[in-house]
Structure 1
Amino acid sequence: MKKAILFFSLFTITSSLVAQSNNPPGLSLIRSEDLKKDLYRFASAHFKGRSAGTIDELNASAWLVEQFRAIGLKPAGDNGTYLQFFSLVRKQLANNSTIEINGTPLQLWKDVAVSQLANTNLKAPIVYLGNAADIDTNTVDVKDKVIAIEASTKGINLNVSLPTWRYNRYIFARYGMPLLKRGAKAILFIADEQAEAAWADATENFKRGIYDLHEEANPNASARSAQSATATAPVIWLHAEAKQKLQNNTASINMNLIVSEYLYPSANVVGMVEGTDPKLKSEYVLYSGHTDAHGIRNVIKGDSIYYGADDNGSVDVAMLANARAFAKYPSKRSVLFVIHGAEERGLFGSRYYSGHPTVPVGKIVAVLNGDMIGRNNTDSAAILGVNPPHRNSSDLVSMALAANKEGPNFKLDTTWDNINHVEGWYFRSDHLPYARLGIPAIMYTSLLHPDYHTPQDNVESINYPKLKKMADWMYRTGWKVANKEMRPATDKDFKLER
């Protein structure tokens, strides 16, 4: 009987060891209490929302540097430091700009908002064309005219995140751009009901101006959108009540718009755990997140600090946890931890690092990017870069899916790779510049939520058990990639749709 009991006990212990054999050695170092402690510091009011190109983002970057140092990561930025600085060009409407209609001065941002910048000194009649939905923008004669049209939701899909942030862009793309191409001297959009509801959020974006990488730092930098290109004609928004003054085609405008241009600093935070294999340590698995959130903006539910706890503090603290695991138990390949600056302004940190890597770019074998991993159902998640045309490495995807099965076993939503998905999220996070270079890249996320880009994206709203599982998944995947003899191959037929 005792032998049978001993045999059963040995069998149970052996089975348990076998069941744990797929667990990477540092898994126990990824702890919910550490994730919570780090996030309560990083996404606190102290850093004032970490807006890109401000001292608040740089202060947050300095805090991340100290965490990298405490963990024992090797500095892998520029000049033997953890930092890689780059400059943003910021163009912003100067406060002494003026707009008058029929001789009446309009107060900037309250009565009138400027959505596309252009140095302009203009006095001209206003030509009212009516409702945008009734205008054939391909035939109407607008050359050298100041045009006024009413905004319209017709044909615009607003079943999307942040509709109040995006509506003005959708209107401009659908109606404004064709008119500018036909030679309009300026466009005045008259707000409809949707635009009135969006006014507060939209003007906060307009006030900040437009950004791009400093061209001396990145001569191949391209503008993100038509609005970030060098503009020759201004685009202006007026409240709905302005229609009464404009619809009889007797109104005139007198405007003097002055665009200020200056450089703003931002930084990537870069640390490394050196690999143990004499050959493979010259290759790198790159973990990716971003520092910035949206700073201090208009008040929502009594708060004006856009903390960015989920976006993207959740990923940054998960990267710290992963770094502790790799620092204690190094892998065969080296592991890079890159927390990019200025993602919210246009993926500028990842665009800069991918163009100016501190390691040979051909030696980066995979990019594991995270964007918002701390909310929603504990048992579900999503991964982007899994399905064509966004999948650029079947090998990397297989390892990520296997890591999920061996660990958190999330029910995965893979529909976000669909080219018709309204969010187009694949093109809005830091894996993209690397994927465009052909580097195997995927993105982990727990998906969007109503607090996205609001002050309510705070530490109290994070699902910490979910965050722990997501951090585990990222670590499990990275451990596989960092120890596999062959690096993940890039799919030969990989080609993004845009």
Structure 2
Amino acid sequence: MRTPHLLTTLCLLPSLALGAEPAAPVSDAERWWGHVRHLADDAMQGRDTGSEGHRKAAAYVAEQLAALGVKPGAGDSYLQEVPLVSRQLVEAKSSLALVRDGTATPLVIGQDAIISPRSGEAGSVEAPMVFVGHGLSIPEAGHDDLAGVDLKGKIAVYLQGGPAQVSGPLRAHHSSQAERTKALKKAGAIGTVMLLNPKLEETPWSRTAASRHQKAMTFADPALDESTGLKVGVSVNAAHAQKLFAGAPHSFQDILKRANANQPMPRFELPARLKASSERVSSRTTSPNVVGLLPGSDPALAGEYVVLTAHLDHVGVGQAVKGDNLYNGAMDNATGVAAVLEVARALQARKPGRSVLFVLVTGEEKGLLGSRYFALRPTVPADKLVANFNLDMFLPLFAFERVVAYGQEESNLAAPLAQVASQHGVKLMPDPEPSRLLFIRSDQYSFIRQGVPALSFKFGYAPGSAEERAFKSWYTRHYHAPSDDLSQPLHKEGAVKFVRMLADLTLAVANAPERPRWNDNSFFLRFAPTKANATPSLSNP
């Protein structure tokens, strides 16, 4: 050991004599929480896509990746700019009405229904309405709500949800905006009305209605925009939905009763026509994905990439609730971004065989825009993306003893997942609520559509437990609300345990001799390149 210089030793003596102690090392929990605290600070203004607050957050994440020794993943930069168009409804010049026998009865925007600013077109439309059950065409399951229905030039009215006998992932895929729009356009529909099902409610109508004031976004490149093709999109408050069914063969309550009992639903033309008029203002903007690269250590595997994603954006500043109009997005999704940064820290020291990409995407709240852009235009060869692990408010509300991995039934990623979870004393659970369609509602879906096996994670809970009550209460109280801030209770040690499990899972997949593949019976196998699915099963770690 090198002996300290005498002067150095003498200089240290006064502080030692005064009882000063070296600073305690920062714990894993405090490091994770430090990222959350920074990203959900009021200074970030809710990190709305395209905002200055989001750019500040992106700069912070890039700085953290650089400090960890993670290389820029978008050429010589950490930022991959996504060109977008921002759209907002001019509510004072927009209207909705039900027309019966030539008489128009107004629907109050915000109270009865809202007009989607993202889908649809400016201008006016008036057309008959047809109720079409859940409005789903799922040929793989022999289910087609649109078969035999005349929708040409009409507006399709459908109830949120889907048939329980169809698997969650398959139902989720066909419920996506892209797939639903494609099926309805093919059937001749010119617009949609979605009826919200109270049984599936995650947030109260007041919060859903308030979201109409936020800017919607689409891709600036029309070739990437899957929201076009229908003239109008409307969502209806379940408490007022009977207005559409007045004089119809079935009441809205009858429809709800049948749907919630998983009984076949009738399809019929409604007595009223829908009249809608809207004006929108648009502007171009850009918002960055943050991309970091940890090069693989095995020459035979380093040309392939495991991708970890979390969305950096939230919803910014919106309608005030109890005097607070800043939507900080601590749980949604500062927690997930913080976890990705800490996985990056853990993997840097462990030298995975395959390369790992850390992609903190923008525009998730606007329709998975950032992840869709990256998946279609990746910064590395697209056919070398082998797996995606996505974190979107994984909800560390209590101790980490159970995990739900959405998509676990679809690929052989289930094998290393089960082994790693067991090693951490964590029980792997199936999706407890497949009707919520979470498999398509976050950024993993963008990679799935490009053939990349993927998983997304949340803390699990035992049925009827206090943890289940906490989980569901969080959605009601905090989801897309100003109260999703730094004052809410979080289980830091549970989050750290989850980070360690995810780091081990990523390492296992990055070091496995063969790339992951879809199961032979998975619907999503169709998206994968043939070559990628001709490989043997993924070896256990």
Per the TM superposition, whether the score is higher than 0.5 is: yes
Equivalent runs, 1:60-99 vs 2, <5 Å: 60-78=57-75, 80-94=76-90, 97-99=93-95
Question: Structure 1 residues 191, 346: CA separation in 2 closer, same or farther (over 3 Å shift)?
Answer: closer
**Structure 1 residue 287 and structure 2 residue 308: aligned?**
yes
1:411 partnered with 2:414: no
Q: Distance in 2 between matches of 1:35 and 1:486?
A: 32
Question: For each residue in 1:366-418, what CA deviation from the matched residue of structure 2 results, as whole angstroms up to 9, or x when unmatched?
Answer: 22222223423314332324543x3x2x2x22212211222x312232235xx
Q: Is the 8 A contact 2:398 2:490 kept in 1?
A: no
Give the counterpart of 2:474 among 446, 451, 458.
Answer: 451
Tell me which of 427, 430, 442 is aligned to 1:429.
Answer: 442
Q: Alpha-carbon deviations, 1:129-167, whole Å to 9, x = none?
A: 99x9xxxx99999998999x9x9999999xxxxxxxxxx
* Residues 1:232 and 1:75: Cα distance change in structure 2 (over 3 Å): same
The 1:61/1:98 distance shift into structure 2, 3 A limit, reads: same
Cα distance, 1:202 vs structure 2: 2.8
User: Structure 1 residue 261: deviation in Å?
Assistant: 3.1
C-alpha displacement at 1:191, in angstroms?
Answer: 13
Residue 440 of structure 1, CA deviation: 2.7
Indicate the residue corresponding to 1:53 in structure 2.
50
Contact kept? 2:304, 2:386, Cα under 8 Å: yes
Ranges in structure 1 where 5+ consecutive residues have no aligned partner: 1-27, 158-168
Counterparts of 1:189 and 1:486, CA distance in 2: 45
Task: Report if aligned partners of 1:30, 1:325 keep a CA contact under 8 Å in 2.
Answer: no
Q: Sort the Cα spacing of 1:386 and 1:237 in 2 relative to 1 into closer, same or farther, 3 A.
A: closer
Amino acid corresponding to residue 115 of structure 2 in structure 1: V
1:93 to partner: Cα distance: 1.7
CA shift digits 1:418-439 (9 cap, x unpaired): xx81111111122222223332
Give % identity: 26
Corresponding position: 1:472 with 2:500:
yes
The Cα shift of 1:270 comes to 0.5
Q: What value does the CA root-mean-square deviation take over the aligned residues?
A: 4.7
Q: 1:120 aligns with which of 118, 123, 128?
A: 123
Corresponding position: 1:208 with 2:224: no
Going from structure 1 to structure 2, the CA distance change for 1:260 and 1:334 (only over 3 Å counts) comes to same
The 1:33–1:127 alpha-carbon spacing in structure 2 relative to 1, beyond 3 Å, is closer
Question: Aligned letter for 2:73?
Answer: A
CA distance in 2: counterparts of 1:185 and 1:433, whole angstroms: 25
Q: 2:128 and 2:206 mapped to 1: Cα distance?
A: 27
CA distance in 1, matches of 2:364, 2:96: 36
TM-score computed with the length of structure 2 as normaliser: 0.65
Which residue of 2 is the match for residue 338 of structure 1? 359
**Aligned 8 A contact 1:117 1:235 in 2:** no
Instruction: Judge conservation of contact 1:75–1:272 (CA < 8 Å) in 2.
Output: yes
Aligned length: 430
After TM superposition, list the pairs within 5 Å mapping 1:117-156 onto structure 2: 117-121=120-124
Bigger mean CA offset, 480-489 vs 99-108: 99-108
| Aligned 8 A contact 2:418 2:428 in 1 | no
Which range is displaced more, 273-282 or 287-296?
273-282
In structure 2, C-alpha distance between the alignment counterparts of 1:367 and 1:332, rounded to whole Å: 16
Q: How is 1:226-375 mapped onto 2 (pairs within 5 angstroms)?
A: 228-233=227-232, 235=234, 257-375=278-396
What do residues 431-467 of structure 1 show as CA deviations (whole Å, max 9, x unaligned)?
Answer: 2222233323222222654333223333342110110
Find the counterpart in structure 2 of residue 7 from structure 1: none
Partner Cα separation in structure 1 for residue 472 and residue 32 of structure 2 = 20
What's the TM-score once normalised by structure 1's chain length? 0.70
Where does the alignment leave 5 or more consecutive residues of structure 2 unmatched?
Answer: 1-24, 98-102, 134-145, 165-174, 248-271, 461-470, 527-541
Measure the CA separation in 2 of the matches of 1:77 and 1:190: 41
Range moving further from structure 2, 452-461 or 285-294: 452-461
User: How far off its partner does 1:269 sit?
Assistant: 0.6
* Aligned equivalents of 2:96, 2:447: Cα separation in 1: 47
1:409 maps to a residue whose letter is: G
Relative distance call for 1:329 and 1:200 in structure 2 (3 A) is: same
SS in 2 for 1:438: coil
Q: 1:189–1:62: structure 2 CA closer, same or farther, 3 Å change rule?
A: same
C-alpha contact 1:379 1:409 (8 A) present in aligned 2: no
Letter in 1 for 2:372: R
* DSSP 3-state at the match of 1:412: strand
Shift in alpha-carbon separation, 1:399–1:242, aligned structure 2, 3 A: closer
Say if 1:50 and 1:57, in contact at 8 Å, map to a contact too.
yes
